[in-house]
Amino acid sequence: MLRFVLSRLLTFVPTFFGVTLVSFAFIRLLPGDPITLLAGERGISQERYDELAAQLGFDQPLWMQYFDYLAGIFQGDLGVSFVTKRPVLDEFMALFPATLELSICAITLAVLIGIPAGVIAAVNRGKFFDQALMTTALIGYSMPIFWWALLLIIVFSSGLGWTPVSGRMSLMFFIEGPTGFMTIDALLSGQEGAFKSAVSHLILPTIVLATIPLAIIARQTRSAMLEVLGEDYVRTARAKGLAPLRVNGFHALRNALIPVVTVIGLSVGTLLAGAILTETIFSWPGIGKWMVDSIFRRDYQAVQGGLLIIAVIVMIVNLTVDILYGAINPKIRNR
Amino acid sequence: MPLLEIRNLSVEFATTSGAFRAVDGVDINVEPGDLMAIVGESGSGKSVSMLAVMGLLPWTATITADRMAFNGHDLRGMSPKQRRRIIGRDMSMIFQEPMSSLNPCFTVGFQIKESLKKHTDLDRKGRQDRAIELMNLVGIPAPEKRLNAFPHQLSGGMSQRAMIAMALACEPKLLIADEPTTALDVTIQAQILELLTGLQEETGMALILITHDMGVVAETVKRVQVQYAGQKVEEQEVGALFDDPHHPYTAALLAALPERATERRLPTIPGVVPGQFDRPEGCLFSPRCRFANAHCKAVEPVQAAPEMGLALCHYPLSHGEPTNREKAS
């Protein structure tokens, strides 16, 4: 097991360098640069431009800039945002808990509903529940997210007034907590109603963000279960006189989980990279929105730093998924 | 009182192209401590009829029977919950493919102890002790260690032994072995059969062996029931069956045994078991029967007398010659 993890960690090294190079090159391939964008419509004189470029290090050859960037990474320094003048790492870390909180809620919802729904659909294959669920999943999967979000806001926020329209917390509260998770900080702050407010702000974005992963997980669980339900060991489990819940939800599901875990891992990866649409619609101060803003501002340091951290997070998620495979199926563990 | 009594069992599968009758009016009688075999080629409904008894058929199957009783309990009116209290405890089953019949995600020990947990009130320690006892019983060396093994770490023979241990966990009154040796090496086959008959003798349970191998039948069981195309065509004690088969199908099966071959070329039975769409009129075996005449191909046969092995034939054989011919013509 340890050897497996170490060998997987080794494959991180080339991926890591690849990501630094790609993120560095990608943002510089876009037309425009931060200085012209900062100057705006009035334009900027050539002397002032050169002065600023020298200040920001743009007068150096590209490979020098790249090695400066790499050297910084190994000292734990991802550079300073041109726009906010704050370290990229600090900016990221300030926004990441919001994204993480939303992602955890969304993936939890998707897993808690998606897996049982898929199992029930597979067990009742071809019957009404199965067809209804698969149709719903298809709709959920193909629906435009911004439209779905707006629909929910219209119905539940403006129409019924059950949930707030946007943001993470009601303006009546000021929460600045140790964890960055609004729900936990609200609880810790001890302010009455703060936790409830945090939760109510989470509901709609969670539903919107969970929709696509939920649809994918339900469909994947169903198809994996259908394959497993025909296996001999499922018949053995039934021949023992075990109840259907135990046979389907334990003996069969455990074997069907491998492809499902893969899908969950991929979803977690994309969710943690920031859900741009959802965060924008709900004014959720997460990294998805921050990344897009940074790209528009040609904030080189922020974009390349942000991309790198996200890539590392996705790699860690993938490694976790690989380790989980072994935990689920011993045959993989011993290979 | 018979342990298992089945009268006129039929199983139909709903398929997209209409109903398919896999088992057609089969009777089975098993006394406590009985040792019998159900023989027939693929598609003769041997496994399906036993899966129907166990209640393991998919929902597409419709089961009808005039009587289906186990140990005095009517299985037909039973709720699934009541049925689950019997199967795995008083009546258990092992299957053809031991390697794929064990769940790859759980240790052998876990899977054996799961049965014990479901059907007995043994505590954790008691279940562990019983599992070790069972592993010893089925001849698995180093049981403490093997209990922690995963199925992929066991050979085919070991897996089947583990399956047997699991089936015997709650001391069943009836063990159904569905072609338990088909997937195994020949040398292992003999060991497993010996183990099964040994355990049958030791525990006094009844054993139904489903097989297509007449050689296995000869060496193992006391009584034989032959099935063809979902119907029971003959039933006899094993010795009598081999000496004097009454149904032409049984006779043809026996003639195809290499040990009994008299000529250079092994005799075969031409054709295949009829399927959903090519069921013949009259006797189902008539298209492949070398004694069949026009009467056989038009009229369904009825069961012959017990001394003629209850053969489902117009002209049951006696010492290789058809009887009753004169009467019909």
Write the residue in B83, B95, B150 that is nearest to A236 by C-beta.
B95
Looking at B4-58, list the stretches that DSSP marks H as alpha helix, in order from N- to C-terminal side. 46-54
Average pLDDT over residues A281-295: 86
User: What pLDDT shows up at residue B50?
Assistant: 92
Is residue B276 included in any domain, yes or no? yes
Q: Give the phi and the psi of residue B62 in degrees, each rounded to 5.
A: -110, 125
Helix axes A300-328, A287-296, angle to 10 degrees: 140
User: What pLDDT shows up at residue A112?
Assistant: 96
Do B217 and B256 belong to one domain? Answer: no
- Answer for the pair B292, B286: CB distance below 8 angstroms, yes or no: yes
Do B21 and B72 belong to one domain? Answer: yes
Least Cα distance to B308 among B323, B295, B291, B293 occurs for B323
Band of pLDDT at residue A285, cut at 50, 70 and 90: confident
Is residue B157 included in any domain, yes or no? no
Chain B: residue nearest A258 by CA?
A: B105
Cβ atoms < 10 Å from Cβ of B281:
12
User: What pLDDT shows up at residue B329?
Assistant: 45
- Across chain A, mean pLDDT equals 85
User: What pLDDT shows up at residue A335?
Assistant: 52
A228–chain B Cβ distance below 8 A for any pair: no
Residue keyed to tokens 């360098």: A17
Asked whether residue A334 carries a pLDDT value surpassing 70, the answer given is no
Q: Give the phi and the psi of residue B164 in degrees, each rounded to 5.
A: -65, -40
User: What pLDDT shows up at residue A126?
Assistant: 85
Q: Which residues contact B147 (CB under 8 A, 6 or more apart)?
A: B107, B108, B109, B112, B128, B131, B132, B135
Do B214 and B81 belong to one domain? Answer: yes
Do B206 and B293 belong to one domain? Answer: no
Do B315 and B183 belong to one domain? Answer: no
Q: How far does Cα B110 stand from its chain's mean position?
A: 27
The pLDDT tens digits of the residues spanning B154-213 come to 988 889 999 999 998 888 999 999 988 888 888 888 888 888 999 998 889 999 999 888
Average pLDDT over residues A8-36: 84
Do B217 and B302 belong to one domain? Answer: no
Chain B: residue nearest A233 by CA?
A: B101
Buried b (16+ CB within 10 A) or exposed e, B248-278: bbbbbbbbebeeeeeeeeeeebeeebbeeee
Is residue B154 included in any domain, yes or no? no
Residue A313 C-alpha, separation from nearest chain B C-alpha, in angstroms? 29
The pLDDT tens digits of the residues spanning A299-310 come to 888 888 888 888
Q: Best interface-test mutation with B: which of A226, A240, A253, A334 has the largest number of B CBs within 10 A?
A: A240
User: Count of domains in chain B?
Assistant: 2
Domains delineated in chain A: 88-333 (1.10.3720.10)
C-alpha A85/C-alpha B23 separation (Å) is 81
Tell me which residue range forms the domain holding B296: 245-328
Chain A: residue nearest B153 by CA?
A: A331
Do B80 and B188 belong to one domain? Answer: yes
Over chain B (329 residues), the average pLDDT of each successive run of 10 is: 90 86 89 90 87 88 90 87 90 90 92 92 92 90 90 90 90 91 84 89 91 84 90 90 90 84 82 82 88 87 86 86 66
Asked whether residue A252 carries a pLDDT value surpassing 90, the answer given is yes
User: What pLDDT shows up at residue A333?
Assistant: 67
Do B304 and B253 belong to one domain? Answer: yes
Is residue B127 included in any domain, yes or no? no
DSSP state of B303: B
C-alpha A313/C-alpha A272 separation (Å) is 8
**3-class DSSP assignment, residue B20:** strand
Asked whether residue A182 carries a pLDDT value surpassing 80, the answer given is no
Helix axes A287-296, A88-123, angle to 10 degrees: 130
* CATH number (domain holding residue B28): 3.40.50.300
Percent residues over pLDDT 90 in chain A: 24
Is residue B123 included in any domain, yes or no? no
Q: Best interface-test mutation with B: which of A229, A236, A251, A254 has the largest number of B CBs within 10 A?
A: A236
Do B289 and B263 belong to one domain? Answer: yes
Do B26 and B96 belong to one domain? Answer: yes
Do B258 and B200 belong to one domain? Answer: no
Is residue B148 included in any domain, yes or no? no
DSSP state of A242: -
Is residue B152 included in any domain, yes or no? no
Task: Give this prediction's pTM.
Answer: 0.82
Q: Give the phi and the psi of residue B17 in degrees, each rounded to 5.
A: -105, 30
The pLDDT tens digits of the residues spanning A89-144 come to 888 888 888 888 889 999 999 999 999 999 999 999 888 999 999 999 999 889 88
User: What pLDDT shows up at residue B326?
Assistant: 60
A48–chain B Cβ distance below 8 A for any pair: no
User: What pLDDT shows up at residue B267?
Assistant: 84
* B92/A239 touch (CB, cutoff 8 Å), yes or no: yes
Residue B135 C-alpha, separation from nearest chain A C-alpha, in angstroms? 17
Do B15 and B97 belong to one domain? Answer: yes
Residue keyed to tokens 């959802």: A278
Percent residues over pLDDT 70 in chain A: 97
Is residue B140 included in any domain, yes or no? no
The pLDDT tens digits of the residues spanning B245-275 come to 999 999 988 888 887 777 788 888 888 888 7
